[in-house]
Chains A and B, each alone.
Chain A
């Protein structure tokens, strides 16, 4: 690569390229004529990780888990509601920050949404992004040379024939060439457009590239080309990747370290081999079980139910509503009973009202006493979930009303399962389950 230009970077030597600390992003839900805030969608709700120089961190999860929102926060496209994204920081400083010392100073120097002036420009140059939809991420009215040359123009690194030569160099790095300079995006195939996006991301010689599902819209044969290219570029330019994807095969191939997200939080995180060989979270296990491997003919299985509403995430462990190995300690709550009632042919439509004292205690009012009795019986007998009777403190019917109370359970915290391997599950291990 050619010279870095007129803005010498100080970055490049610190070992942690990016660290997220308890990052949250909540979107207000507005209602009515007055656009009153009626609640928040907790798209990302307290996520921490760090990406070391030259490594690839895979961020995995299904739709609605918050991975894309988190990617946008990391790339500085939107500001976190809480928490901090720290850029280019060494391990010692990060340890000090985690320990709570000189937090203010460290944030001034490293926190992305607090950076100003040159420091912000340095971050902007060094953190680039490639999106899933190669069509939407290239301005349809711009030629390749404008698109790839734009970062160089913005940061005044090149102009005129120098710019053209630099763009040709970048295009050659991604497997395109001079003949593609004066074409519009729609004249390329999907794979070629994604190469152009990558060339643009490379233009400023960045340290970190956020790759948001970069190959999900491509055919496998083309995906393989792009994955190979990304690997080559990482080797050649000492790049660090945050690789966001739903495809476990791809992430296994590309990532050194994996963060599995569910409903805005981290379910499990660890080195790729640990995640694939020894899962400590049932969600990770379910994801793996559901992703068929072409080499093996083993059966694959899925999960019951669908992802809960992120505006009202479940108590305790957020996965407990779909978890095949949920226990009494996983956060059974009033909503679990309500959800069961809605799906139960004999009881649906007979729930007249819910008076909540907390997420764990409420008074349910029914149209008739019989339904109330059925619900109480379902809670006590374990028909709703086998572990529910153990979690319930009180389930009594008074005519057509039911008082129900569960033992309050705190959110399940991440606990250490191995070197660099953490999981948020009440089970010590999933091996004998």
Chain B
């Protein structure tokens, strides 16, 4: 360590208020996130892909009755990209690749939001109780976590989805069952770490309640790695979901990138590269974008760099 003297900011103006200081802090944090060009790239990609998902019905007309099913044109099989009406070509069953790419974004967004939402919620809850309360619950949980972590996540998810039967809903369920453990473990470790700080003791000394201490001291200081992990998992889960769909665990004909790649792979040897490539590229970009942003967040949210101790 180099002992650099402490930086003291200039005297604050008298119009200062807690709200302003916090807003400024948020501005500073976002500015430092956006100072990194690769994070910005990831951010732009995410915005683009999410817009695509949200505005899917405006970009291509929704298929009826189920918009998540690929529209089939049996009169236009294996059309190459650029064919009139099929920007990215069609599959060997007449599916519009462009439709699959656009609505696949919607499927992916739905998948990742639901899975990350459920797993973060459950994981944070379980990890918090285990770490903050300790005792028997903690011990049982940690044994359970050990069991979960000794099975590769993909194989575990695959087994569950296979038992439940092929459907996209079951993929969501399987991923949720597998992924919450990771969050529980991270949260528990974070809570234990934060709890050892003397500001938690200080809060107990002034007589604050356990819930308040959790809410005000423990949670806000423990949650940043979860945010980073969740961001990364937004990408990772689509990757795993696509893998499960690819091996046939989703409904046939679903507008989903993994299903599409699977449908198109047979044609690759015959030179029909487009049906697999475009959805495959989307999976790659989706995962990449969230990873870039997750990395950027980690650098900024790391309390060591944040507080410049």
Contact = CB atoms under 8 A, between A and B. Distances in A.
Do A and B share a direct contact in the complex (Cβ within 8 angstroms)?
yes
B11 A135 contact: no
Interface string A173-190: 000001111111111111
Interface string B194-205: 000111011111
Contact of B8 (A125, A128, A139, A187): A187
B194 to A, nearest CB: 10
B220 to A, nearest CB: 5
A135 B309 CA distance: 9
Interface stretch (B13-21, B50-58, B97-105): B13-21
A202 to B, nearest CB: 11
A356 interface: no
B37 to A, nearest CB: 27
Given A183-B12, A200-B202, A121 B17 contact: no
Contact of B205 (A77, A145, A178): A77
Interface residues of B, number: 35
A186 B204 CA distance: 22
B195 to A, nearest CB: 12
Interface in B15-30: 16-18, 20-22, 25
B169 interface: no
B208 interface: yes
Interface string A127-164: 11101010111111111011000110011000000000
A200 B307 CA distance: 21
Nearest to B218: A139
Contacts of A180: 12
A28 to B, nearest CB: 14
A211 interface: no
B212 A154 contact: yes
A189 B309 CA distance: 11
A339 interface: no
A317 interface: no
Contacts of B198: 131, 133, 136-137
Interface in A201-222: 201, 203-204
Contacts of A140: 221, 303, 306-307
Contact of A77 (B11, B204, B216): B204
Interface residues of A, number: 45
Contact of A187 (B9, B18, B203, B303): B9
Of A121, A139, A151, A178, most buried by chain B (CB within 10 Å of CB) is: A139
Given A150-B208, A182-B12, A187-B8, A129 B220 contact: no
Nearest to A203: B206
A124 interface: yes
Nearest to A140: B307
Nearest to B20: A182
A26 B303 CA distance: 34
A183 B20 CA distance: 11
Contact of A182 (B18, B306, B308): B18
Contact of A141 (B20, B207, B208, B220): B220
A75 interface: yes
B217 interface: yes
Contact of A186 (B197, B207, B309): B309
A186 B193 CA distance: 19
B27 to A, nearest CB: 14
A132 to B, nearest CB: 8
A125 B20 CA distance: 32
A241 B22 CA distance: 36
Of B14, B22, B197, most buried by chain A (CB within 10 Å of CB) is: B197
A80 B25 CA distance: 43
Given A125-B207, A145-B18, A154-B212, A137 B12 contact: no
A137 B206 contact: no
A124 B203 CA distance: 11
Contacts of A77: 201, 204-205
Interface in A364-391: none
Interface string A339-381: 0000000000000000000000000000000000000000000
Contacts of B18: 143, 145-146, 182
Contacts of B14: 178-179
A121 B221 contact: no
A133 B199 CA distance: 10
B202 A137 contact: yes
Contacts of B306: 140
A125 B205 CA distance: 8
Interface in B207-250: 207-208, 212, 216-217, 220-221
A145 B18 CA distance: 8
Interface string B171-207: 0000000000000000000000000011101111111
B199 A137 contact: yes
A425 to B, nearest CB: 35
B16 A154 contact: no
Given A128-B205, A137-B198, A179 B220 contact: no
Nearest to A146: B18
Contacts of B9: 183, 187
A197 B203 CA distance: 11
Interface of B: 6-9, 11-12, 14, 16-18, 20-22, 25, 197-199, 201-208, 212, 216-217, 220-221, 303, 306-309
Given A137-B197, A180-B12, A183-B9, 20 more contacts: A77-B204, A121-B207, A127-B205, A128-B206, A129-B202, A131-B198, A131-B201, A137-B199, A138-B202, A150-B203, A151-B206, A179-B12, A179-B14, A181-B16, A182-B17, A182-B20, A184-B21, A187-B8, A189-B6, A200-B202
21 contacts: A77-B201, A77-B204, A124-B205, A124-B206, A128-B205, A128-B206, A129-B201, A133-B198, A138-B199, A140-B306, A141-B220, A143-B18, A150-B208, A155-B207, A178-B14, A179-B14, A182-B12, A182-B21, A183-B12, A184-B307, A185-B307
Interface of A: 72, 75-77, 121, 124-125, 127-129, 131, 133, 135-143, 145-146, 150-151, 154-155, 178-190, 197, 200-201, 203-204
Q: Can you list the 9 inter-chain pairs with the closest CB atoms, starting with the nearest?
A: A124-B207, A137-B198, A151-B206, A186-B307, A139-B199, A182-B21, A131-B198, A136-B198, A182-B16
